[in-house]
């Protein structure tokens, strides 16, 4: 019984991460297109975003592999579980799909806001991974522990480039509303969303991988 509950917890957790990693790299594709166009001179920054995108894609594939090795598809969680989606909704008033990234990148203040949202989301990710690596239910699964160790190693390089971009422009201090959004998204995921998914017997599984229709990058 206890083992079944632990398996269920890992199943929910990995499904949420898989969704978030995919959301992360597919959104960064749009940011990259806009930054290359608007700031072609920012070669180092562009290279850092490209690395960030490649890392999130690799993280996605690690979770996908974790499910594949068990012969199971992930649970069908949706964007209400995606930290970045909910942050964008609370700070920009639309979800990622509705965000006009070209317009945002072209506007200094809006782009700074987007960079701060990315920094807050990634820093939250660092703290969360540290907590997960202290939990026996996670670390007792060797493959999952390895995945989270790799994420832990990669994560700082994800927020630092955006923070650097903001610092140079004196825009790095997150607004109170942005901090509150980050706090609320995190708390609601941990206190309500995750337990609900864990306990919901009607939660089905995906029938296709998120990247099934994507061309290999
Ligand atoms: Fe990631
Ligand atoms: Fe990340």
Residues in the 5 Å CB sphere of ion ligand 1: 21, 56, 59
Q: Average of pLDDT values for 153-177?
A: 95
Which CATH number characterizes residue 42's domain?
1.20.1260
107 is a domain residue: yes
17 is a domain residue: yes
HSE value, Cβ hemisphere, 13 Å, CA-based, for 165: 26
Ligand 1 mean position to 143 CA, how many Å?
16
Ligand 1 mean position to 25 CA, how many Å?
8
217 is a domain residue: no
Ligand 1 mean position to 16 CA, how many Å?
11
Contact at 8 Å (CB) between 115 and 166? Answer: yes
- The ligand whose atoms approach the alpha carbon of 155 most closely is 2
176 is a domain residue: yes
- Mean pLDDT across the chain, nearest whole number? 94
Residue 18 is part of which domain span? Answer: 2-199
Ligand 1 mean position to 21 CA, how many Å?
5
Ligand 2 mean position to 29 CA, how many Å?
14
Q: Quick one: pLDDT band at residue 21, thresholds 50, 70, 90?
A: very high
Q: Residue holding tokens 């070669």?
A: 43
Q: Quick one: pLDDT band at residue 122, thresholds 50, 70, 90?
A: very high
42 is a domain residue: yes
Contact at 8 Å (CB) between 109 and 51? Answer: no
| Percent residues over pLDDT 70 in the chain | 99
Ligand 2 mean position to 170 CA, how many Å?
23
Q: Quick one: pLDDT band at residue 216, thresholds 50, 70, 90?
A: low
208 is a domain residue: no
Ligand 2 mean position to 140 CA, how many Å?
23
Q: Quick one: pLDDT band at residue 215, thresholds 50, 70, 90?
A: confident
Kindly report the CA angle at 131 between 125 and 136, in degrees rounded to 5?
A: 135
Ligand 2 mean position to 18 CA, how many Å?
12
Ligand 2 mean position to 1 CA, how many Å?
34
Ligand 1 mean position to 45 CA, how many Å?
18
Q: Average of pLDDT values for 44-71?
A: 97
204 is a domain residue: no
Q: Quick one: pLDDT band at residue 108, thresholds 50, 70, 90?
A: very high
Ligand 2 mean position to 122 CA, how many Å?
5
19 is a domain residue: yes
- Look at residue 1 in the predicted model and tell me its pLDDT: 79
- The lowest-confidence range among 52-56, 157-161, 213-217 is 213-217
66-82 tens-digit pLDDT: 999 999 999 999 999 99
What domain count does the chain have?
1
Ligand 1 mean position to 1 CA, how many Å?
31
């Amino acid at each position: 019984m206890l083992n079944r509950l632990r398996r269920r917890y890992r199943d929910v957790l990995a499904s949420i991460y898989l969704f978030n990693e995919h959301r992360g790299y597919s959104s960064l594709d749009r940011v990259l297109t806009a930054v290359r166009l608007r700031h072609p001179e920012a070669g180092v920054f562009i290279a850092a975003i490209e690395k960030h995108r490649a890392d999130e894609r690799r993280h996605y594939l690690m979770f996908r592999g974790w499910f594949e090795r068990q012969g199971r598809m992930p649970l069908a969680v949706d964007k209400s579980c995606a930290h970045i989606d909910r942050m964008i909704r609370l700070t920009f008033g639309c979800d990622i799909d509705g965000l006009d990234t070209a317009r945002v990148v072209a506007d200094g203040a809006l782009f700074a806001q987007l960079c701060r949202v990315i920094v807050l989301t990634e820093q939250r990710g660092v703290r969360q991974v540290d907590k997960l690596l202290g939990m026996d239910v996670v670390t007792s699964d060797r493959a999952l522990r390895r995945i989270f160790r790799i994420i832990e190693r990669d994560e700082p390089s994800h927020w630092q480039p955006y923070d650097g971009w903001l610092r140079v422009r004196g825009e790095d201090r997150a607004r109170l509303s942005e901090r509150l959004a980050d706090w609320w998204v995190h708390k609601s995921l941990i206190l309500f969303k995750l337990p609900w998914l864990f306990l919901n017997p009607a939660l089905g599984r995906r029938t296709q991988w998120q990247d099934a229709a994507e061309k290999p990058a």
